[in-house]
Structure 1
Amino acid sequence: MSTRPAAPLAGYGIRAARPSEAGAVAALLARAFADDPVMAWMIPAADRERRTARYFRLSQRQQRPRHGGVRVAATADGRLLAAALWSGPGCWKTSGVRELAALPFYARAFGLRGMPRAGKVQNAMHEAHPDTPHWYLPSVGTDQGLQGMGVGSALLRQQLARCDRFGQPAYLESSNITNVPFYEGLGFRVTGEIRLPGGGPTLWPMWRDAAHADDRSAG
């Protein structure tokens, strides 16, 4: 996601994604993550966009049992501009039964050579995940050509405002160092580094405390 300044894009709203939009959301996120270092490390270059879309289709399936788990910025005529996956406090980790059932779908996304790397990524992220109850943002992306126009920040600010209202922190892992300033602008701070084994790329865990009312009025 680019952080270069640009005029805000008008004419869209923020809402929960509809089940019928799962394919469009997956395709949007696949385009948004086309240059993502961690995705590139896990998924072979051949057919990467289609495999990445498969992964995000599965990610949505894991999120949908959770209320508001998939949110989008969309125009009135249904064009999707950005999408975010959220998990509420205590809900970030998928059950072992669901993970086991999803293994064939993960294999289709990552391929036999990519599966071990995907497993390493998941294990490293799980080990670093904080225990304090929080809202978790596993994935967010703005469609290509729309970065820097305020869509992604508007999408995230809606949920973060709810976090502030109920005094709930938020957590994410940035898989691209260039996106760290974007998240810092939303109140997140880097808490360390997650170094993937075997020469894999680095992720930056980021935490955001809920803002108090006086902090919001000062901003």
Structure 2
Amino acid sequence: MNPRTALSATGYGIRCARPVESGAIAALLTRAFADDPVMVWMVPEPSGQEGRIARFFRLAQHRQRPRAGGVRVAATDGGQLLAAALWSGPGRWKASAVRELATVPSYARVFGVRGLSRAASVQNALEEAHPHAPHWYLSTLGTDPAIQGAGVGSALVREQLAHCDRLGQPAYLESSKTSNVPFYEGFGFRVTHEMRLPGGGPPLWSMWRDAAPGR
């Protein structure tokens, strides 16, 4: 039985991630971002690349943990993780300066000397382009490659956007793949800006979605 057939047979649900799932979520996101242009550019050394990316996603989850519902997953009843999303609520997308400073040594171990300067340039570009109006921020979305195209990632996004619509609040994200832009456009996002990273880095696309009226 292929993974998609098995998924159809077992079904899945969407819920907040459990702290004990941090490693499994990091592994899932590492598989999902294995060919991501920006991630590969930030972690340029092939040796140990997979482990470094996994550590990055552990840090990303840790950054979200103080926020209720910051890490959400699609999972089967048996606990198999299928997709994960990292969301921040209005006014909560940026960590405090103290918290950012405290994580510098950890990020240095992830990226190394060469990659750290690239990661810093990505972070600076994201912060410079980030909108000031209150919004929900989708910083990360990843689906297990074995079931991509089965609609699980879509369900994970749709669940939060329904909440945004009920609250009358917009949403924002950056797409690091041009092929993902139409995917997000299908949810009502529109490209507002194309970011060009310094040093010949790959582009990113800022995307904004207004709350759907009457929902």
**How does the TM-score come out when normalised to structure 2?**
0.95
- Corresponding residue number in structure 2 for 1:90: 91
Give the equivalent residue in structure 1 for 2:108: 107
Matched residue type, 2:66 = P
Encode CA deviations 1:90-126: one digit per residue, 9 max, x unaligned: 0000111111110111011111110000000000010
State the secondary structure of the residue aligned to 2:67: coil
Superposition deviation, residue 9 in structure 1? 4.4
Deviation, 1:8, is: 11
In structure 2, the CA distance between the partners of 1:68 and 1:109, relative to structure 1 (3 Å rule), is: same
**Residue matched to 2:204:** 203
Number of paired residues? 209
Within 5 A, what are the aligned runs for 1:61-140? 61-140=62-141
Tell me the residue number matched to 1:12.
12
Structure 1 position 84, deviation (Å): 0.2
Q: Does structure 2 retain, via aligned residues, the 8 Å contact 1:7–1:149? A: no
Classify the secondary structure of the residue corresponding to 1:148.
coil
User: Structure 1 residues 90 and 7 mapped into 2: Cα distance closer, same or farther (>3 Å)?
Assistant: farther
Tell me, yes or no, if the aligned pair for 1:8 and 1:149 is still in contact at 8 Å. Answer: no
- Is 1:26–2:26 an aligned residue pair? yes
Show structure 2 runs of 5+ residues with no match: none
Secondary structure of 2:150's counterpart equals coil
How much does 1:157 deviate? 0.5
Q: Secondary structure at the match of 1:53?
A: helix
- Higher RCO, Cα 8 Å, sep 6+: 1
SS of equivalent residue, structure 1 residue 145:
helix
2-structure distance, mates of 1:107, 1:79: 31
1:48 to partner: Cα distance:
1.3
Structure in which a larger fraction of residues adopt helix: 2
Partner of residue 144, structure 1 = 145
Deviation beyond 6 Å, 4+ runs, structure 1: none
Q: Provide the rounded CA distance (Å) in 2 between the counterparts of 1:107 and 1:95.
A: 18
Match of 1:186, SS?
A: coil
| Aligned-residue identity in percent | 70
Pairwise CA distance, 1:7:
8.6
Tell me the distance in 1 between the aligned counterparts of 2:29 and 2:176.
14
- Aligned counterpart, 2:181: 180
Where does structure 1 lack aligned partners over 5 or more consecutive residues? 1-5
* 2-structure distance, mates of 1:170, 1:7: 32
SS at match of 1:55: helix
What is the match of residue 43 of structure 2? 43
Match for residue 158 of structure 1? Answer: 159
Amino acid at match of 2:67: R
Indicate the SS of the match to 1:193.
Answer: strand
**SS of residue matched to 1:46:** coil
The alpha-carbon deviation at position 47 of structure 1 amounts to 1.5
Instruction: Calculate the aligned-residue CA RMSD, in Å.
Output: 1.4
